[in-house]
Structure 1
């Protein structure tokens, strides 16, 4: 009959096949989710970094949730997605991903590829670093190596130097390059010091051209009204004496252009009737 070793191997092969099928299903689901977010023009920001850099703590603080955060290897295996509201920017999807390690084996990278793909497909990366670690620069290098391996090294990113609460009187700050663009922020995910600076940078880097102001719609354009609500672009609604719908809106320029085309709207009439529609 079958030896115990052969039985174990057969069971392991079956388990590997099952996991691979699950990963394929997860990939498909995430692809669908990413396409939906792109259609809705909701940017995705992924947290990446060396293990124990404090990504999950930062994630919890930004999202006011309670994702498992532990000082151990691969405490976060599956990317956790949460929708947050960034002041003056709007909705953003935040993703917490697996912590990287030094000399990550190729087979391990492949096993976690479905997890790491969230980083590659993101609009922006927050590279979280333990600012107190004596191996800080080497850890940064190792993370960049993995990002290169999964083809995520071209995604715009910001260095987030975490744990400044362990650095004495070190104050939160933003580092900028010669062009004035933010390249790093120093903060404490645990205490919350500097989170306002991070949100400021997200606004700067992810800010899109927006159309905002008062949109006047005749009663027959109720479908346009529903569309604006579907985009979560309506800030307030009133009506005038003629029964027209007055919407105070704020939406990305691209969404505005798509709406005009979809409903075959008269742009000139809309902008003439609108009070202060601008971009």
Structure 2
């Protein structure tokens, strides 16, 4: 998939997709009617109608990408993939399924696809063979053919056998949610470490899904196939093409793991340096596209890429800033989370996410305008638990507060009574957030009283930067300072210590 540009300005594609919309039911060629509609035929048997339509495919409204000008695609010399989204949901969870499919639509567009339609089927469990069931898979084939789609994306992680079976029925490429997320990560990773982590996750995903077509993947090297004149000692069963690919993938994965491990000392050295100088750290976490990078830019003027797209940030960014009382601390932006985050990515990005586990405070950014913020909060807390950061103090920030009304604020306050409402775009609430950060940051553990000669202004400057100055008095013989500092700094200034 290729990168897309923003096609709309005020009413962007992503906003339209994530906005809640009416879902209208349908089946191929107009034979099915609304599954949950209020209007019913008074002459029909309702129970039989329910049985017929129980598992009918259901269209989710608002999932069709609209290009302003098709010449844009021609100009860029790109052919965007035309995709149809599919999902399965049990009875009673249609709203959650529609929100999930809208999120998948946003992911697909971020990866560079044009979403033609979104279809849901109600059934207790996905079909173990073709995910939708054989009959509905054939209906999906007709829909794909009618819409001229070239890819089907399932809103879950498909088993290799399910993907192959569904692909054989619909006759176009079938991928799943995990593949889309991996594709986005591969497009956006910038650092050497980020690229290596993405490639490792992709290979872990690909390995069990290698598929042979015809004889090309089963042909064996060695014997006469090894080439004319191969000679004695080269004949034998050899390796099939698919076995060779598996071995090459295993070799590459081992090399990548070694490469990622080699990056660890540099990260640990930076972290140890911050710890040595007692600089508290704050990690920004949150759902993807919640506005974490915008918040970091607003607070620190970091200049981090901000884009209305999912997973615009993949590499951790750390910046220094100060509290009102002059204490330094670091702000770290991290990769956004998403529901059903592939476990390969949790493992591969553990080095990025471990910034969270070493933080003194977590700022959890939530999109206040999202239709289901509660599930976003749950998803982020699950991932925080996976990286061992569940016990770190947390501030919940409802970002994009300028887009909600008072009733929505009341509902969000019920989810997190002590949360801060802010807008990284307008700056509202940022001062309140900084005060809350200042209140919750750990205070230096050692209290000192010093009389510093006037020619040692560097000591006073260091106390302001790396400690918490509580009292200062300019005397005839020097500057008297009372401050709270770390043990390391207290050891450096013992020669200036006086009794209080």
Q: Which TM bucket (shorter chain)? A: 0.7 to 0.9
Q: Which residue of 2 aligns with 1:162?
A: 399
Q: Are residues 211 and 263 of structure 1, via their aligned partners in 2, closer, same or farther at CA, if it must alter by over 3 Å?
A: closer
In 2: Cα distance, 1:265 partner to 1:30 partner: 34
Q: CA deviation at 1:7?
A: 6.1
Q: Given the alignment, which residue of 188, 201, 217 partners 2:436?
A: 201
Residue 387 (structure 2) pairs with residue 150 (structure 1): yes
Of stretches 145-154 and 182-191 in structure 1, the one that deviates more from structure 2 is 182-191
In 1: Cα distance, 2:459 partner to 2:452 partner: 14
Cα deviations by residue, 1:214-238 (Å, 9 ceiling, x for unpaired): 733397xx6xx65555554699x99
Q: Given the alignment, which residue of 236, 242, 252 partners 2:484?
A: 252
Q: Which residue of 2 aligns with 1:179?
A: none
In 1: Cα distance, 2:420 partner to 2:474 partner: 45
Of stretches 65-74 and 98-107 in structure 1, the one that deviates more from structure 2 is 65-74
Cα deviations by residue, 1:5-43 (Å, 9 ceiling, x for unpaired): 566545544543343233223332222222221221110
Secondary structure in 1 matching 2:371:
coil
Secondary structure in 1 matching 2:418:
strand
1:87-236 alignment, distance < 5 Å: 87-168=324-405, 183-206=418-441, 208=443, 215-217=451-453, 229=461, 232=465
Give the TM-score normalised by the residue count of structure 2: 0.45
In 2: Cα distance, 1:113 partner to 1:37 partner: 20
In 2: Cα distance, 1:185 partner to 1:199 partner: 10
In 2: Cα distance, 1:190 partner to 1:266 partner: 47
Q: CA deviation at 1:106?
A: 1.9
Give structure 2 stretches of 5+ with no counterpart: 1-220, 222-238
Q: Are residues 260 and 164 of structure 1, via their aligned partners in 2, closer, same or farther at CA, if it must alter by over 3 Å?
A: closer
Q: Which residue of 2 aligns with 1:27?
A: 264
Of stretches 79-88 and 8-17 in structure 1, the one that deviates more from structure 2 is 8-17
Q: Is the 8 A contact 1:82 1:94 kept in 2?
A: yes
Residue 298 (structure 2) pairs with residue 61 (structure 1): yes
In 2: Cα distance, 1:50 partner to 1:87 partner: 28
Give the length in aligned residue pairs: 255
Q: Is the 8 A contact 1:260 1:266 kept in 2?
A: no
Q: Larger relative CO (CA 8 A, sep 6+): 1 or 2?
A: 1
CA root-mean-square deviation: 3.7
Q: CA deviation at 1:184?
A: 1.3
Q: CA deviation at 1:105?
A: 2.2
Of stretches 17-26 and 63-72 in structure 1, the one that deviates more from structure 2 is 17-26
Q: Is the 8 A contact 1:46 1:126 kept in 2?
A: yes
Of stretches 63-72 and 132-141 in structure 1, the one that deviates more from structure 2 is 63-72
Q: Is the 8 A contact 2:277 2:466 kept in 1?
A: no
Of stretches 201-210 and 104-113 in structure 1, the one that deviates more from structure 2 is 201-210
Q: Are residues 131 and 248 of structure 1, via their aligned partners in 2, closer, same or farther at CA, if it must alter by over 3 Å?
A: farther
Q: Is the 8 A contact 1:233 1:249 kept in 2?
A: no
The structure in which a higher percent of residues are strand is 1
In 1: Cα distance, 2:490 partner to 2:367 partner: 47
Q: Which residue of 1 aligns with 2:94?
A: none
Q: Are residues 266 and 68 of structure 1, via their aligned partners in 2, closer, same or farther at CA, if it must alter by over 3 Å?
A: closer
Q: Is the 8 A contact 1:63 1:82 kept in 2?
A: yes
Bigger Rg, structure 1 or 2:
2
